[in-house]
Amino acid sequence: MITEGDWGRALGRAMRRRCPRCNGRGIFATYFRLRERCPTCGYRFQREAGAFTGGLMMAWVFTLAFMIAPLLVYVFWRGITGNDELAFAPFAVACVAFAVIVPLVAYPYTASTWAAIDLVSRPLDPDELADAETHRAGV
């Protein structure tokens, strides 16, 4: 189980789409739907209302980063070479492609990573530990 300050282990597990607390598999019901709880340890991934927005925000940030990269390449290429004939259209198409592809690919990883960040930055209190154990035991 994760202890306070165990950032590396929790993030490593989450980036492999596993439970950040116990390393259990199967935390996603579908590619885009994180289960309410870990099927292995009973940890509740969304510990408060609106907790999923952190994962969405992380996906949004990655999307923006990937969209900005082709634009920076275009600007630097034109600035370094002085070539005014370089077409902007391929770079714009790359930005649109990244805007569609990156959120689809990144969301499961950002959702589980956000659950890990939440767990490590706010360790489970005794009530949450008892709730997870009750759920794990199937009671």
Q: Is residue 2 part of a domain?
A: no
Q: Which residues lie below 8 Å from residue 7, measured CB to CB, with a gap of 6+?
A: 120
The number of distinct structural domains making up the chain is 1
Q: Is residue 40 part of a domain?
A: yes
pTM: 0.79
pLDDT tens, per residue, the chain with 139 residues? 555 558 888 899 999 999 998 999 999 999 989 999 999 999 988 888 877 788 889 999 999 999 999 999 999 988 898 887 888 999 999 999 999 999 999 999 999 999 998 888 888 888 888 888 888 877 5
First-to-final CA distance of the chain: 21
pLDDT of residue 8: 87
Parent domain of 24: 7-137
Q: Are 24 and 44 in contact (CB under 8 A)?
A: no
pLDDT of residue 135: 83
Q: Are 88 and 78 in contact (CB under 8 A)?
A: no
In whole angstroms, give the CA distance from residue 70 to residue 92. 8
Q: Is residue 45 part of a domain?
A: yes
